């Protein structure tokens, strides 16, 4: 019954999301891509456990943007989608950038990933809503791979850097959340060309990046958010912020050189989410 209730909330939240573009987090396409890539890599027991946790007729990929839609209902959750780092240092430190923000684990992305990894424990009698824990964890593993989610506090992770994306007004943060992916999908972005976008990344995981996958998965615990955050701020400096200032026109050159980075971060998020869920969920039954 709990799942049914959540499903209704999800439906309402989704209609709201469609009306208001979100400013914090990979857009719908990015989160959907990450969770679909992860789902395809799950072991049988993990997949069975995942399906039990999903709301009735729920599709994992389509539910992964959910956390962005409950920021107003769960006000406490809005600071969990990002990490603020000091301007131009291009580094991340949990003690410096997260821990001081309150709570045992700090109210930021790394703290959130740690909390939801702990909550999603099928061996214990659930003290928490496990469906929500699954959806939050899957969303936040995605967010921490978006380079500008560990961006500088001074420009709110690129949100205050107004740019043009080809001939439209945008913000640097939005370019990374959504614009690059939509441009890659081509004109009239829809479900079919989202499948094509995801397939391309899966082909790279099995081809171009195949030898790196083990390294991405290397982690002594279920998740290693400190590693993912450090990679993200490095990529933010090397790729997202580089050569960009308010008023910049970002077009073909920026798109062609940054698309592979977006694909890489989505691939890494999907692979790592799968290995986390394989560890966490396979204990059932
Ligand atoms: Zn988010």
Q: What is the pLDDT of residues 139-180, one digit of tens each?
A: 999 999 999 999 999 999 999 999 999 999 999 999 999 999
At 24, the pLDDT band (50, 70, 90 cuts) reads: low
- CA distance linking residue 173 with residue 69, whole number of Å: 18
Q: How far is the CA of 25 from the centre of ligand 1 (A)?
A: 4
Asked whether the predicted pLDDT for residue 50 surpasses 70, the reply is yes
Asked whether the predicted pLDDT for residue 132 surpasses 90, the reply is yes
Q: What is the pLDDT of residues 194-205, one digit of tens each?
A: 999 999 999 999
- CA distance linking residue 109 with residue 31, whole number of Å: 15
Q: How far is the CA of 229 from the centre of ligand 1 (A)?
A: 14
Q: What is the pLDDT of residues 84-96, one digit of tens each?
A: 999 989 999 999 9
DSSP 10-44: HHHHHHHHHHS--SSSS-HHHHHHHHHHHHTT--H
The 10 Å Cβ neighbour count of residue 88 is: 10
- CA distance linking residue 112 with residue 141, whole number of Å: 9
Q: How far is the CA of 66 from the centre of ligand 1 (A)?
A: 9
Q: How far is the CA of 240 from the centre of ligand 1 (A)?
A: 18
- CA distance linking residue 165 with residue 60, whole number of Å: 30
Q: How far is the CA of 201 from the centre of ligand 1 (A)?
A: 21
Asked whether the predicted pLDDT for residue 15 surpasses 50, the reply is no
Q: How far is the CA of 35 from the centre of ligand 1 (A)?
A: 13
> What letter would DSSP give residue 74?
S
Nearest CA to 227 out of 280, 258, 268 is that of 268
Q: How far is the CA of 199 from the centre of ligand 1 (A)?
A: 23
Rounded to the nearest angstrom, the gap between the alpha carbon of residue 62 and the centroid of all alpha carbons in its chain is 13
Q: How far is the CA of 218 from the centre of ligand 1 (A)?
A: 24
Decide: 134 and 67 in contact? Cβ < 8 Å: no
Decide: 24 and 176 in contact? Cβ < 8 Å: no
Asked whether the predicted pLDDT for residue 100 surpasses 80, the reply is no
Q: How far is the CA of 285 from the centre of ligand 1 (A)?
A: 31
Q: What is the pLDDT of residue 26?
A: 87
Q: How far is the CA of 24 from the centre of ligand 1 (A)?
A: 5
Asked whether the predicted pLDDT for residue 22 surpasses 50, the reply is no
Q: How far is the CA of 212 from the centre of ligand 1 (A)?
A: 26
**9 contacts: CB under 8 Å, gap ≥ 6:** 70, 73
Q: How far is the CA of 23 from the centre of ligand 1 (A)?
A: 9
Q: Which element (helix H / strand E) includes 68?
A: helix 66-69
Q: How far is the CA of 134 from the centre of ligand 1 (A)?
A: 14
Q: How far is the CA of 243 from the centre of ligand 1 (A)?
A: 26
Return the SS3 of 106.
Answer: coil
| β-pairing verdict for 249-250 and 168-171 | unpaired
Q: How far is the CA of 89 from the centre of ligand 1 (A)?
A: 23
Q: How far is the CA of 46 from the centre of ligand 1 (A)?
A: 24
Q: How far is the CA of 226 from the centre of ligand 1 (A)?
A: 17
Q: What is the pLDDT of residue 101?
A: 61
Q: Which domains does the chain have, with CATH numbers?
A: 2-281 (1.10.575.10)
């Amino acid at each position: 019954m709990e799942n049914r209730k959540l499903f209704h909330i999800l439906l309402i939240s989704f209609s709201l999301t469609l009306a208001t573009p979100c400013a914090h987090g990979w857009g719908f396409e990015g989160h959907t891509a990450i969770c679909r890539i992860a789902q395809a890599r799950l072991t049988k027991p993990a997949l069975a456990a995942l399906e039990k946790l999903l709301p009735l007729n729920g599709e994992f990929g389509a539910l992964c943007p959910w956390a962005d839609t409950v920021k107003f209902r769960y006000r406490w959750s809005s600071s969990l989608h990002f990490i603020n780092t000091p301007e131009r240092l291009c580094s991340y430190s949990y003690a410096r950038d997260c821990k001081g923000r309150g709570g045992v684990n700090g109210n930021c992305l790394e703290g959130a990933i740690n909390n939801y990894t702990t909550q999603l424990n099928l061996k214990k009698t659930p003290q928490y809503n496990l469906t929500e824990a699954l959806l939050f964890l899957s969303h936040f593993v995605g967010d921490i791979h978006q380079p500008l989610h560990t961006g500088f506090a001074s420009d709110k992770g690129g949100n205050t850097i107004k740019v043009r994306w080809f001939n439209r007004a945008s913000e640097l943060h939005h370019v990374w959340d959504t614009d690059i992916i939509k441009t890659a999908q081509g004109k009239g972005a829809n479900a079919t060309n989202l499948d094509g976008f995801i397939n391309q990344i899966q082909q790279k995981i099995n081809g171009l990046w195949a030898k790196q996958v083990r390294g991405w998965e290397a982690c002594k615990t279920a998740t290693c958010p400190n590693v993912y955050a450090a990679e993200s701020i490095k990529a933010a400096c090397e790729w997202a912020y580089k050569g960009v200032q308010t008023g910049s026109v970002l077009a073909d050159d920026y798109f062609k050189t940054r698309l592979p980075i977006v694909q890489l971060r989505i691939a890494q998020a999907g692979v790592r989410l799968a290995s986390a869920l394989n560890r966490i969920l396979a204990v059932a039954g």
